[in-house]
Amino acid sequence: MTQHTANYHLADSRGAIRTLDDARAAMSEIRRLTCQREIIVARFEKRIAALTAEAAETAAPVEGELTRELRRLENWIVANRHQFAPPNKRKLKTPDGEFGLQTTTRLGIDDFNAVLDYLMDKGCDDCIKVTQKLKSTEILKRIDAGERIPGARRDSGEIALCRVNRALVKEAVSHAQ
């Protein structure tokens, strides 16, 4: 019966283990080396944690500026929807990335219990999870097919979109290192 947490190869210059005392000595060496390895890993993990905290602290002002700039662009996009209406494109691509409008759809629930009661009474098991969580996608399919479900409605709208060109980000990171 062999139990170990890693493959340790003991066939080194000390030769094969021949006695119980040799086996005990090998086990002691395995313990020492395992501890040594774990200490090294723990020290590096501690340094990584410290660097991660330092990076978050150092990046906080930039994160604030980024959030403000994203809000400025989002406000402009929303205020200038006509720029993204047909025949114009919904998104404007630039060398830096793209921005514009993106249509989103989600299920709006005004009265959870009314929707649940309705779906249960109608035997719409495809719209209900056993945990009694409403399945928005399935309810939306029914609404789209013309079924009126009390307490539920289809909400559609547009949200501002901003996607940075990831290749440029990668390039900047690689030049900074």
Q: Residue 7 to residues 3, 4, 13, 31, 125: CA-CA distances in angstroms?
A: 10, 7, 18, 13, 51
CB atoms closer than 10 angstroms to residue 161: 19
Q: Report yes or no: 143 and 104 within 8 Å, Cβ to Cβ.
A: no
Lowest mean pLDDT segment, chosen from 27-31, 36-40, 129-133: 129-133
Amino acid at 125: D
Q: Does 65 score more than 60 pLDDT? A: yes
Q: Residue 101 to residues 59, 71, 73, 138: CA-CA distances in angstroms?
A: 28, 14, 11, 26
168's CB contacts (< 8 A; 6+ apart) are 95, 96, 97
pLDDT in tens, 78-110: 999 998 888 778 898 999 999 999 888 999 999
| CA–CA separation, 112 and 133 (whole Å) | 9
